[in-house]
Amino acid sequence: ILNVEQSPQSLHVQEGDSTNFTCSFPSSNFYALHWYRWETAKSPEALFVMTLNGDEKKKGRISATLNTKEGYSYLYIKGSQPEDSATYLCAFWIYNQGGKLIFGQGTELSVKP
């Protein structure tokens, strides 16, 4: 059974803090990794699509890195703002299984003003 784990499960920070969280996945089955942001009462929205070892992606104050050899990806938020409060999901695409993917359970971020 393939397992995708995200840590921490939840995080409470003050406005202006920088933060990061982890997505761990089985390195031997890697095909691609996506990051999504999910605000309460809305639908998940794509942040990054990552496919190559060493990939680094950035969108504003949010960035992500990928290490496929050791099986992890980091998501960083610089200078957190209250509007960054959301659940951040990683989605692991399984090699050689077409469109099959596994989501992590998510990291719930709360940013206090």
Partner 1 sequence: EAQVTQNPRYLITVTGKKLTVTCSQNMNHEYMSWYRQDPGLGLRQIYYSMNVEVTDKGDVPEGYKVSRKEKRNFPLILESPSPNQTSLYFCASSLSGGLGTVNSPLHFGNGTRLTVT
Q: By the criterion CB under 8 A, which residues form the site for partner 1?
A: 31-32, 34, 36, 43-46, 49, 51, 89, 91, 93, 98-106
Print the SS3 string covering the chain.
CCCCEEECCEEEEECCCCEEEEEECCHHHEEEEEEEEECCCCCCEEEEEECCCCCEEEECCEEEEEECCCCEEEEEECCCCHHHCEEEEEEEEECCCCCCEEECCCEEEEEEC
Q: Minimum distance between the CB of residue 76 and partner 1, rounded to whole angstroms?
A: 19
Shortest distance (Å) from residue 93 CB to partner 1:
4
* Minimum distance of partner 1 from residue 79's CB (angstroms): 25
- Our CB check for partner 1 shows the closer of 99 and 113 to be 99
